[in-house]
């Protein structure tokens, strides 16, 4: 495991302390993430992972991103129609949003409340693109560039909890 992967794993597993959220908000976000989410990644439509936040270490993000990218080879209109995939044996659902030549995939447990999920996933991808438009368009793939998006992810989760009246 390289140093960047190790840092990324430590952030997810050590409950990264947010600079934007209060301690109470951070604990709530982490509690909900651990209860319902298994991970998230954003990749190029070719499969190159740009950002990932992995809660369940058994997920093989690189393999799954390549699988989703292979689906995109059937045409953007087909991937755009794939909104959710359920993997029965693993008891995992995936929510997929494709936009800007990027694909975001949320892994969650089937018992998670899915109200507004599609909308929030799109907001998150819009935010990612607006923050990193230049390096994305330049084709940069250095994961260190995109690590700071973790703060935005926490804010999006908190906003989602507000929409669900859980915060």
DSSP label at residue 89: T
Mean pLDDT of 122-147: 92
pLDDT band at 56 (very low <50, low <70, confident <90, very high): confident
- Concatenating the DSSP letter of every residue in 25-48 gives HHHHHHHHHHHHEEEEEEEETTS-
Topology at the third CATH level for domain 3-163: Beta-Lactamase (3.30.450)
Ordered alpha helix ranges (H), 1-114 = 3-13, 23-36, 61-72, 76-81
- Residue 104's contacts (CB-CB under 8 Å, 6 or more residues apart) are 40, 41, 42, 96, 97, 121, 124, 125, 128
In a 10 Å sphere around its CB, with 0-12 CB exposed, 13-18 middle and 19+ buried, how is residue 94 labelled? buried
DSSP per-residue codes, 142-154: -HHHHTTHHHHHH
Report percent pLDDT > 90 for the chain: 15
How many whole angstroms separate alpha carbon 67 and alpha carbon 140? Answer: 21
Per-residue pLDDT tens over the stretch 75-105: 555 555 666 666 666 678 888 888 899 988 8
* Confidence band for 1, pLDDT divided at 50, 70 and 90: very low
Cβ–Cβ < 8 Å for 40, 107: yes
pTM: 0.74
């Amino acid at each position: 495991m390289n140093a960047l992967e190790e840092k990324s794993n430590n952030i997810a597993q050590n409950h990264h302390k947010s600079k934007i959220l209060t301690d109470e908000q951070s604990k709530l976000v982490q509690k909900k993430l651990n209860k319902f989410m298994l991970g998230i990644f954003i990749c190029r439509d070719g499969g190159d992972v740009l950002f990932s936040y992995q809660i369940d270490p058994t997920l093989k993000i690189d393999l799954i991103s390549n699988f989703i990218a292979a689906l995109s080879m059937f045409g953007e209109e087909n991937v755009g129609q794939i909104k959710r995939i359920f993997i029965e044996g693993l008891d995992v659902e995936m929510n997929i949003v494709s936009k800007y030549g990027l694909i975001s995939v949320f892994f969650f447990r089937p018992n998670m409340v899915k109200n507004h999920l599609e909308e929030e996933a799109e907001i998150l991808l819009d935010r990612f693109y607006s923050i990193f438009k230049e390096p994305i368009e330049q084709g940069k793939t250095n994961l260190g560039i995109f690590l700071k998006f973790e703060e935005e992810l926490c804010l999006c989760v908190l906003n989602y909890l507000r929409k669900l009246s859980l915060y």
